[in-house]
Structure 1
Amino acid sequence: MCKTDITAVSLIDEKDEGNPNIQYTPSCTRVTRCGGCCGSNLISCQPTQVETLNFPVKILEYNGTHFVFKEKKNVTVPQHVACKCDCTIKHCKPSQMYNPKGCNCICNNTEDQYKCNAERDTKMWDSDSCSCKCRKVENDNCTTGSEFNNNTCGCEPTE
């Protein structure tokens, strides 16, 4: 079930994270965040409404003997108000287009994909790069005087 739940979040600035000479008070707080299961790895629980909360923190710095007050500032933290199950992927590479019904990216060059599938004994379609690739890359197995050719997927004599 996809819903908001109380979650602890850090108030420490990323640049100070792990620095033993800097101390934040408080170091964390609890806000509501979306969470839960949506039934598929293509869909995740995501916020549909977010509000921004500000938390005052004191920053202390170690001076060699003890921690002393350095500054006071507000830390901005997003809090999720409402959630829904939605596609995890929403942005595709330039060579792809987004398919909202399938929650995935589809290659723009479908003709190349059909040509590649016709050569399925030696080649396979790579949906991530939208290109046809050799099933076996035998660069190391080519003998002296030959090199691997990605078009024929085999060793060819060097010219």
Structure 2
Amino acid sequence: MDRAVTYIANCVGYLLRVFVVWVAVVTLYIQINALPTQIPPAVMYGMTQVRTIDDLLQMLDQPVKPVIPGQGKNSAWDLEVTQGQGVIADDDDEDRDEHDGDDSDEDSGSERQKPVPAVLTGYQSHPKTMLTPLQFSDVEPLPSCIPREAVIQVLPETSKPHVMFWPGCVTVKRCGGCCNSDLHECQPTRSETVQVKVVQMEYTPRARRYFQFDGIVIRNITNHTDCSCQCKIKPQDCNPVTQVHNNCQCQCKKLVSCPARKLWDPVRCQCVCITSQQDRRCLKRQEWDDNSCSCTCRKDLEASCRPPHWFNRRRCKCQRRST
């Protein structure tokens, strides 16, 4: 009876080990063949240089095929010809005349090669289809990063809440546009101060119309004159001790392999404990230690323990030495 139980237990253990290995192999296969779920920052950094359709085609690794208006018989979409399977029949009358009357092939019994119907490539994906800028003529252009008209509110000084300006808003130039990258934003590279004249009014509750004319005043407004796509994250935003500014990001100066129970944190550039907040709850005389990722005795208790006492680290208590 005991031998049978032992045999069954061994079989169950073997099956469990086989199942664990199978799960590990399947998980590894899924990870290897999984598609990337996020565009790499380096690729996003380069997208800021894509300003036109020609730039986009270069990013798509497609050779730009020059299209001369008036020389093509087709629309923006080229007709695809399969090499070695015939030619497309030409509608040119002159080419037809050259072959009219030439029936030597027919007399010899040979059959003329029939034209292969043209295939309109359209938006299809084909390894022999060359994309051209003319095919993207209906795509919206990229809004450039330039000074654009913007409505700015003219506010009085905070120390004068009873003062109001008219008009309350003016039109100036402010940087705006698309940088085509989440790492960049349209920022001013040069600006100037312009003066605008507005009517200043003072609120007086005892007046018949509540506001009294207080003159025409000049307000200074910032006007952007030049713009460019710049990094959202600046070098001064990075920690100079542990980080370096690269590709509009704060990246760690060095990467290290983390020990057990720790995981690399790319923000703090150090290994951090992977335990949850609930696991970090320690006893009364203990505190959480990020180095060991465990609860340890409070340092103040150990520091306050003086001879002839000794500190018991198992109980986190200062005890008298036994004589």
Interval of TM-score (by shorter of Structure 1 and Structure 2): 0.7 to 0.9
How far the C-alpha of 1:126 sits from its partner, in A, is 4.8
How far the C-alpha of 1:9 sits from its partner, in A, is 0.2
Cα deviations by residue, 1:108-145 (Å, 9 ceiling, x for unpaired) = 5x3xx41xx42263243252x44443233447622343
Q: Which amino acid aligns with 1:25?
A: W
**TM-score normalized with structure 2 length:** 0.40
Question: Structure 1 vs Structure 2: percent identity of aligned residues?
Answer: 30
Contact kept in structure 2, 1:138 and 1:154, CA below 8 Å:
no
Of the three residues 245, 256, 259, the one matched with 1:98 is 245
Give the structure 1 partner of residue 191 of structure 2. 50
Residues 1-159 of structure 1 mapped to structure 2, 5 A cutoff: 1=143, 2-13=145-156, 15=158, 19=161, 21-65=162-206, 66-70=210-214, 72-90=216-234, 91-92=236-237, 93-95=239-241, 96-99=243-246, 102-107=247-252, 110=254, 113-114=255-256, 117-119=257-259, 121-127=261-267, 129-136=268-275, 137-138=277-278, 141-158=281-298, 159=316
How far the C-alpha of 1:12 sits from its partner, in A, is 0.8
**TM-score normalized with structure 1 length:** 0.75
Contact kept in structure 2, 1:16 and 1:22, CA below 8 Å:
no
Contact kept in structure 2, 1:12 and 1:27, CA below 8 Å:
yes
Specify whether residues 138 and 152 from structure 1 end up closer, same or farther in structure 2 by C-alpha distance, changes over 3 A only: farther
Cα deviations by residue, 1:19-52 (Å, 9 ceiling, x for unpaired) = 4x33111211011211122111111111223222
**Structure 1 unaligned residues grouped into runs of 5+:** none
**CA–CA separation in structure 1 for the residues paired with 2:228 and 2:181:** 13
**Structure 2 unaligned residues grouped into runs of 5+:** 1-142, 299-315, 317-323
**CA–CA separation in structure 2 for the residues paired with 1:144 and 1:50:** 60
Specify whether residues 71 and 135 from structure 1 end up closer, same or farther in structure 2 by C-alpha distance, changes over 3 A only: farther
Specify whether residues 28 and 138 from structure 1 end up closer, same or farther in structure 2 by C-alpha distance, changes over 3 A only: same
How far the C-alpha of 1:149 sits from its partner, in A, is 1.1
Name the structure where strand makes up a greater proportion of residues.
1
Contact kept in structure 2, 1:51 and 1:80, CA below 8 Å:
yes
Contact kept in structure 1, 2:178 and 2:185, CA below 8 Å:
yes
Provide the alpha-carbon RMSD of the alignment: 2.7
Q: Which amino acid aligns with 2:211?
A: F
**CA–CA separation in structure 2 for the residues paired with 1:149 and 1:140:** 9
Specify whether residues 37 and 14 from structure 1 end up closer, same or farther in structure 2 by C-alpha distance, changes over 3 A only: farther
Contact kept in structure 1, 2:203 and 2:212, CA below 8 Å:
yes
The alignment of Structure 1 onto Structure 2 pairs a total of residues equal to 149
Q: Which amino acid aligns with 2:245?
A: Y
How far the C-alpha of 1:85 sits from its partner, in A, is 1.3
Q: Which amino acid aligns with 1:153?
A: C
**CA–CA separation in structure 1 for the residues paired with 2:148 and 2:159:** 27
Q: Which amino acid aligns with 1:22?
A: V
Name the structure where helix makes up a greater proportion of residues.
2
